[in-house]
């Protein structure tokens, strides 16, 4: 992994090869190699002979194998195939396999989407590079490593992929989310919806992908997302933590605070690391805020409850953060509250539906509810997580149909068994217990 780390560091700090060789010459001196060798290297560097050191690319070609693994299959949304990609390993390895397995879609989508996005926001490469440079130091290293892997796996440049991650940071949008559990649902499971009401012009819904991440460290998690994105606009992990977000910032409050991690990246932090709602809230509170949001965080397996969060960064500290439980009389939507339910629908009429079907909710009915409250003209994707049994339903917009007009695809995460050995991918993970170089989830022998 050493060469990978070097590449990341070199990329981040933007050190030219010449500067690097000078630094390395200095480091060699400190580690006690023969003084004459150091002296020669130093003199060579001073004389501008650094070009004789290996070219930049050679630093990253050390004959190592990538490691980890991935597999792609598809499920159906009506008659439309939706790719599902399972990747396992380190963040770099998972990114590499995701890039490799989604290569055609990433290559088709990223350059075209970037061109449209830059024209719409009147921003150029230099501007987007500055946005990424401001947010990247606050961004979970695992996301950055994954992007590097995705670049090398897909053949699309790292800078282009970094620019794509800036889309949700710079655009304003609205969404909704509802969590229902216990007495509110037919089987007591915690179900959580997420309507993504965003830009249909971005055409991300034409390159859908459901990614199952099996990290060597941290919780397996799933994102119903789009080609080329590492950030999560929603997600579910194997501990039953479901996350959804709703942006509240009007466009007039732009530009938003950039010296902070974007929610799509700290969502990944939570999905990797949170084993309960309490842990998710602790991790959430450690993140510096960017703009105005609502969030719904659910826990379908451990604490079996959900909360609604309102975080309005521009407000004074005493009004900045609110966290509401179910049936909370202080909820901003009270008295339209119910036991076993938290929601934010931006006033689009979820409450009558919730009351009418109380106690009967399951995955398909929650999808019906999600699809009854879209923002028409911008309904890109609708998702329902069963955070208890680890299943999901997802409808993506397609062609001239928005997500609410589409049938949903279904995936039971505990039934995905890539190597057909009777143990699910989530259960097996990406360790390599028999040491044959094939991770367990792809290895019928272990």
In the complex with Ca ion, the residue whose CB is nearer, 165 or 446, is 446
105 binds Ca ion, rule: CB under 5 A: no
In the complex with Ca ion, the residue whose CB is nearer, 144 or 440, is 440
Find the shortest distance in angstroms from Cβ 446 to Ca ion: 4
Q: Which x/- pattern over 405-434 shows residues binding Ca ion (rule: CB under 5 A)?
A: ------------x-x-x-x----x---x-x
The residue whose Cβ lies closest to Ca ion is 443
Maximum pairwise Cα distance, the chain = 84
446 binds Ca ion, rule: CB under 5 A: yes
List phi, psi (to 5°) of 316: -65, 155
Instruction: Give the binding-site size for Ca ion (rule: CB under 5 A).
Output: 12
39 binds Ca ion, rule: CB under 5 A: no
438 binds Ca ion, rule: CB under 5 A: yes
In the complex with Ca ion, the residue whose CB is nearer, 331 or 443, is 443
In the complex with Ca ion, the residue whose CB is nearer, 299 or 440, is 440
- The Cα 203–Cα 404 span in angstroms is 16
Find the shortest distance in angstroms from Cβ 443 to Ca ion: 4
Q: Cis peptide leading into 189, omega within 30 of 0? A: no
328 binds Ca ion, rule: CB under 5 A: no
In the complex with Ca ion, the residue whose CB is nearer, 201 or 412, is 412
E-assigned strands of 113-184? 174-180
Q: Cis peptide leading into 8, omega within 30 of 0? A: no
Instruction: Give one DSSP letter per residue of 92-125, joined into a string.
Output: HHHHHHHHHHTHHHHHHHHHHHHHHHHHHHT--H
Q: Which x/- pattern over 364-403 shows residues binding Ca ion (rule: CB under 5 A)?
A: ----------------------------------------
- The Cα 335–Cα 337 span in angstroms is 5
Residue closest to 342 by CA, chosen among 193, 222, 187? 193
Instruction: Give one DSSP letter per residue of 221-269, joined into a string.
Output: EEEEEETT--S-SEEEETT-EEEEEEE---GGGPSPP-SS--HHHHHHH
Binding footprint of Ca ion on the chain (CB under 5 A): 417, 419, 421, 423, 428, 432, 434, 436, 438, 440, 443, 446
């Amino acid at each position: 992994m050493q060469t990978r780390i070097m590449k990341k560091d070199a990329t981040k700090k933007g050190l030219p090869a010449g500067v690097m060789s000078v630094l390395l010459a200095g480091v060699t001196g400190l580690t006690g190699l023969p003084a004459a060798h150091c002296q020669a290297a130093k003199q060579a560097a001073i004389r501008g002979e650094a070009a004789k050191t290996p070219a930049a690319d050679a630093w990253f070609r050390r004959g190592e194998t990538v490691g980890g693994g991935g597999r792609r299959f598809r499920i159906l949304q009506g008659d439309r195939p939706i790719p599902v990609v399972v990747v396992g390993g380190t963040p770099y390895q998972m990114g590499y396999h995701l890039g490799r397995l989604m290569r055609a879609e990433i290559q088709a989508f990223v350059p075209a989407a970037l061109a449209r996005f830059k024209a719409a926001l009147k921003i150029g490469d230099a501007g987007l590079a500055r946005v990424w440079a401001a947010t990247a130091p606050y961004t979970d290293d695992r996301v950055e490593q994954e992007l590097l892997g995705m670049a090398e796996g897909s053949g699309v440049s790292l800078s282009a992929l970094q620019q794509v991650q800036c889309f949700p940071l710079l655009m304003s949008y609205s969404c909704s989310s509802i969590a229902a559990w216990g007495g509110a649902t037919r089987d007591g499971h915690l179900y959580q919806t997420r309507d993504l009401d965003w830009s249909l012009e971005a055409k991300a819904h034409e390159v859908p992908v459901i990614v199952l991440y099996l990290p060597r460290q941290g919780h397996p998690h799933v994102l119903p997302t789009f080609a080329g994105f590492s950030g999560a606009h929603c997600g579910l992990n194997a501990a039953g933590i479901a996350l959804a977000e709703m942006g509240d910032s009007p466009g007039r409050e732009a530009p938003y605070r950039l010296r902070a991690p974007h929610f799509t990246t700290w969502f990944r932090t939570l999905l990797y690391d949170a084993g309960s709602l309490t842990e998710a809230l602790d991790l959430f509170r450690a993140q510096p805020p960017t703009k105005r949001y609502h969030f719904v965080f659910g826990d379908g397996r451990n604490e079996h409850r959900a909360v609604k969060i309102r975080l309005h960064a521009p407000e004074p500290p005493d009004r900045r953060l609110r966290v509401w439980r179910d049936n909370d009389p202080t909820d901003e939507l009270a008295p339209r509250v119910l036991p076993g339910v938290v929601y934010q629908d931006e006033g689009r009429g979820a409450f009558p539906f919730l009351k009418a079907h109380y106690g009967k909710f399951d995955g398909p009915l929650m999808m019906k509810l999600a699809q009854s409250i879209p923002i028409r003209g911008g309904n890109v994707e609708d998702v329902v997580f069963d955070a208890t049994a680890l299943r999901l339903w997802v409808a993506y917009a397609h062609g001239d149909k928005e997500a609410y007009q589409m049938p949903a695809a279904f995936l039971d995460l505990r039934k995905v068994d890539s190597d057909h050995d009777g143990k699910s991918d989530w259960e097996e993970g990406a360790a390599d217990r028999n040491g044959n170089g094939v991770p367990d989830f792809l290895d019928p022998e272990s």
